[in-house]
Amino acid sequence: MRNDPTLKINLPGGIVSAGTLRDILTAAQGAGVRQVRFGSRQQLLMKVPAEDLRFLERSLAAQQVPYELNADQHPNLISSYCAEEVFRTGQWLTESEYHTVLDRFDYAPRLKVNLSDSQQSFTPFFTGNLNFIASPEPHFWYLYVRPKQTNTVFRWRDLIYTNDLVRLARAVEAALLTQKYPDEDTLYAAVNQTSTFITQPATQEVELPDFSLPYYEGFNRYGSRTWLGLYRRNELFSVALLRDLCTLCLTTRVGELCVTPWKSLIIKGIEEKHREAWSQVLGRHNINVRHAANELAWQTEDHSDEGTSLKNDVLGYFQKHDTRTFGLCFGVQTRPRSEVFGSVLIRKRPLLRLGKYPLLSVYDLYHTEHFNPNRRKYLLFERGLWKIHLPGQLDRLCRKFNASRTDTHRVAQEAEVPPVGTLVASPGTYLTHQCPHCLTVYDATYGDALRQVPPGLAFAALPEHYTCPTCDAPKADFRPVTTGAGAVLQP
């Protein structure tokens, strides 16, 4: 079995221009690389044939592209930029504000730095060592510090102004890396002893939304444009596909691509007139864009074929037993001291060792407090499970989660298919139909202008070849839902 070196290229904030990525991929292809991955910190990863490594290094040096080999001394700076405009976000943190901050990073951080909009739930908040979260006050940020190799998170006592964010990040990192501080007050005093920053008091903790992972795959409308999400079941993207996507971006004036912490791609700003060209590229490379939502809610370690295989085994069990996982996300940890994001954590550990080599392994199951993946405290659910018993216990954990959910607004976020009979609108309500893949609603009151369906046409009267205007799902996939106070189930 080959043990080729792993080359990592950081994409700050998960953003890369189409031209830059195409140049990198062209050099990689010349070095024999046929597939690449995106990491959980929005970085580009590739296995490079050892005999061609020197060629690729020369090409990257000529392009002035920094990289690391078999190392992660400088973790990528991640951001929620990929969610901006396409998912729920705040009011003042725009794409230009992200660029303002990212452009000011004139050093390569050695600690993990996160930039997050406080209103989104697509990217994690506290997986970094320095976690900057947008505050309600325009252009000011919370800072939550998590020292390396700990689960202790504390809030910086000040809100930090955008233009001083990078200076403060550099000063806090330098202090944390030079010596250990016994408490947050000592660290605060050390950082502010030699420098001053534009701040204002942070009088309360940040308010974060309930976790709800949006469906991040396929063609989706926003405003007058479309965004495209691409996920690969094995986490591998062919270089040929990505080069074609970059070329199409340049041809259609889409300037950049966004990498997500879910190891997927989001491409924004696709004009309707170019939609067919994008579909043709996907068809040419046989790319499917309608995976089940529960398959997208997993995070495995970077370059972990074992974690991906385990995920697929569990998903097969979930599908067979029709397990409900809405509201949960899952992390698989097969290596010690690695970090993954999830409200449910599957952690592998050796049962027996021969020297430093594990002989038998078992799995422990944990979940976060209140099943909120942004909490850092994990609660043990089951310990010492054999692999064959893991899917069944995960199913039991999912049932515990569903039983514990109260009748709040989160329950209403997923429309249920009636098990028997027909939904009939009760007084004060009316019936609509919703695509389960992208949550687009067909309302007969308005019709569907994109599909030239006039107002007043009932869903049942739509032609059988009708498809979702957002993600192209067939009519048969739509589910009946009610708008208003309730519905009556008739046999």
115-124 residue pLDDT tens: 999 999 999 9
Residue 173 and residue 122 share a domain: yes
Handedness of CA 116, 151, 261, 34 (dihedral sign): positive
Res. 228 pLDDT band, cuts 50 70 90: very high
pLDDT band, very low/low/confident/very high, at 98 (cuts 50, 70, 90) = very high
The least confident of 185-189, 211-215, 261-265, 445-449 is 445-449
The answer to whether residues 337 and 375 belong to one domain is: yes
Residue 67: pLDDT band (50, 70, 90) is: very high
Is the pLDDT at 428 greater than 70? The verdict is no
Highest mean predicted confidence (pLDDT) among 191-205, 251-265, 403-417, 464-478: 251-265
Among residues 233, 211, 212, 229, the alpha carbon closest in space to that of 220 is found at: 229
CA distance 44 to 267: 16
> Model confidence at 254, in pLDDT bands (50, 70, 90)?
very high
Lowest mean pLDDT among 76-80, 278-282, 485-489: 485-489
Tokens at 172, concatenated:
């806090």
The percent of residues above 70 in pLDDT, for the chain, comes to 92
pLDDT at residue 422, as a whole number: 43
Contact 131, 125 (CB under 8 A): yes
Asked if 446 and 372 sit in the same domain, the reply is no
Residue 487: the pLDDT is 39
Residue 1 covered by a domain: no
The pLDDT tens digits of the residues spanning 230-250 come to: 999 999 999 999 999 999 999
- What does the alpha-carbon distance between residue 94 and residue 114 come to, in Å, rounded to a whole number? 16
- Alpha helices, H only, 152-298: 165-178, 184-194, 239-251, 275-284, 293-296
What pLDDT does 148 receive? 84
Residue 197 inside a domain? The answer is: yes
Tell whether 467 is covered by a domain. yes
- Residues of the chain with pLDDT > 90, as a percent, come to 71
Tell whether 393 and 427 lie within a shared domain.
no
Domain boundary among 411, 431, 449: 411
Where a domain ends, among 392, 411, 430? Answer: 411
Read off the amino acid at residue 236: L
Would you say residue 226 has pLDDT above 80? Answer: yes
Q: Which of 383, 411, 439 is the endpoint of a domain?
A: 411
pLDDT digits 0-9 by tens, 380-392:
999 999 999 999 9
Q: Does some domain include residue 303?
A: yes
Asked if residue 141 has pLDDT above 80, the reply is yes
- SS3 for 192? helix
For the cut 90, the answer to whether the pLDDT of residue 214 exceeds it is yes
Q: How confident is the model at residue 357 (pLDDT cuts 50, 70, 90)?
A: confident
Residues 390 and 424 in one domain: no
Residues near 15 by beta carbon (within 8 Å), at least 6 away in sequence: 79, 81, 82, 98, 102, 256, 257, 258, 259
Same domain, residue pair 121 and 101:
yes
Higher pLDDT, 44 or 356: 44
Q: Is residue 321 part of a domain?
A: yes
Q: Provide the residue range defining the domain that includes 402.
A: 296-411
What is the structure's pLDDT at 1? 52
Q: What pLDDT does 413 receive?
A: 44
Report the pLDDT value the prediction gives residue 478, as an integer from 0 to 100: 86
Instruction: Region of 143 please: left (phi>0), alpha (psi -120 to 50) or beta.
Output: beta
Say which CATH number the domain at 424 has.
2.20.28.10
Give me the chain's average pLDDT, please: 89
Q: Is residue 483 very low, low, confident or very high in pLDDT (cuts 50, 70, 90)?
A: low
Q: In this structure, is residue 166 part of a structural domain?
A: yes
Q: For tokens 């400088």, what's the residue?
A: 74
Confidence of residue 435 (pLDDT cuts 50, 70, 90): confident
Residue 140: its pLDDT value, please?
97
Residue 93 inside a domain? The answer is yes
Please indicate, yes or no, whether residues 464 and 484 belong to a single structural domain of this protein: yes
| Same-domain pairing of 349 and 421 | no
Looking at the fold, whether 163 and 133 belong to one and the same domain comes out as yes
435/472 same-domain check: yes
In this structure, what token pair is assigned to residue 230?
Answer: 């691409």
Verify that 403 and 434 share a domain, yes or no: no
CATH number of the domain to which 117 belongs: 3.30.413.10
Number of domains in the chain: 3
Whether residue 421 is found in the same domain as residue 393: no
In a domain, 326, yes or no: yes
Give pLDDT, residue 418.
44
Q: How confident is the model at residue 371 (pLDDT cuts 50, 70, 90)?
A: very high
The predicted pLDDT at position 199 comes to 96
